[in-house]
Amino acid sequence: MKLYQKYLFVILILLVGIIAYFHFKDRQNFVNQIHTVLLNILDNEIKNQKLKAFNFAYSLSQNESLKQAILNKNGKESYHILKQYMNTLETFNGSKINAQIVLTDFTIFARSWDNSDAGVNVKQNRPDLEIMKKTLNPHVAFEAARKLVLIASIPMMHENRCIGFLDVIQRFDSFEEYFLQYDIDIIVLVNERYKKQTVLLEKNPHIDNMIVANAGANINHIKNLRKLNLNQLKNSGMVENEKYFYFSKVILNDVGDNIGYFILVLSKDKLTLFRNFEKELKSFFTYTRKDLYGTATNKKPSLDVYCDFTDKELLALKKSAVGQDEMYIKKHLQEKLNHYTKEELISLLLENNSKKISRGVIK
């Protein structure tokens, strides 16, 4: 090989190396941007779910019928009230949320979904309630209770005395459904050191020293994560194999302890699709940041849970609401119906009460 050919060969190798370096760097920057976008989306959804859970919990904690049932030690009546309220919300708002009442001695008094555990003492599973009993401060946070769940807890007060705690419990179904629209899987992990608290997860799959907490976790991704470096995923926030990227976000409880991780799973095929719409992704990234800013600056959540309900949902809820709930519902319903035409009002009334004949004059 002649001297100039050797130089050309070295230059070619350097050129290929430089191209490969910048291609890798560009790809890595894009993956990092995707990572940031996904975590922003997750943060925003967490804020939305926390606000929704807190609003529902506050609304129920003010229910005088529930308070009277507690004072009368009528667990059956409390169960029926909780069940009716949550069934109505799920039917008309699609919110799969559970509620329960825990007494000040930390025994379950009533639950909306299944009252078979009434009387069970949860003191060892709910250290957050021990703190609340002393401070009477409500909170909404992820807690390693009998499962890892999002819980909004509010003291129920009667004549300046705490008579129990109202919990609204959000499992991870809504998170799974939310990310499914982006073709993204989610796995929720809780640290094994909380296994005595999370007694209902004892049969769930394990990944190293973590327990899989969500029922909808994909078994193939669980197998993949067992083969990958979980510590790297926790520390750097991302690992990958030949087909998927795995992104992580820490889960903190009410006192700021690290109790687990969210894992978001994105296929590399999907990443290629995002690559083809990089400009749109940047616009979406800007939008999510603005959206998050708006959420973050609204420090004081609205206590009026009904502000985002549709007219049909409000009409349905009005039939079972009492006291302050009924007042809120009527207020928002009146605001919505004021903008209706005569024909729209007739149609709405007939649709919500098809067995009755609408009579009279609507002005």
Total domains in the fold of the chain: 2
**Which domain-ending residue is among 170, 186, 213?**
170
Which domain, by its residues, includes 333?
A: 305-352
Choose the weakest-confidence range: 168-177, 216-225, 295-304.
295-304
Asked whether the beta carbons of 165 and 129 are under 8 A apart, the reply is yes
* 314 band by pLDDT with thresholds 50, 70 and 90: low
Q: Is residue 129 part of a domain?
A: yes
Q: Is residue 91 part of a domain?
A: yes
CA angle 82, 136, 173 (to 5 degrees): 45
CATH number of domain containing 92: 3.30.450.20
Q: Dump strand ranges (E) for the chain.
A: 98-102, 108-111, 139-144, 148-158, 161-170, 185-191, 206-207, 210-212, 238-240, 244-252, 258-267
CA distances to 4, 99, 133, 135, 205 from 153, rounded to whole Å, are 77, 10, 11, 13, 28
**Which domain-ending residue is among 149, 170, 191?**
170
- Between residues 307 and 144, the one the model is more confident about: 144
- Between residues 210 and 181, the one the model is more confident about: 210
Put simply, whether the predicted model's pTM sits higher than 0.75 gets the answer no
Query: Across the strands, what pairs with 18?
Result: none
Mean pLDDT of the chain: 78
Section 333-359 average pLDDT: 60
Query: Across the strands, what pairs with 102?
Result: 108, 165
Q: Is residue 194 part of a domain?
A: no
Choose the weakest-confidence range: 63-72, 79-88, 204-213, 298-307.
298-307
**Which domain-ending residue is among 116, 135, 170?**
170
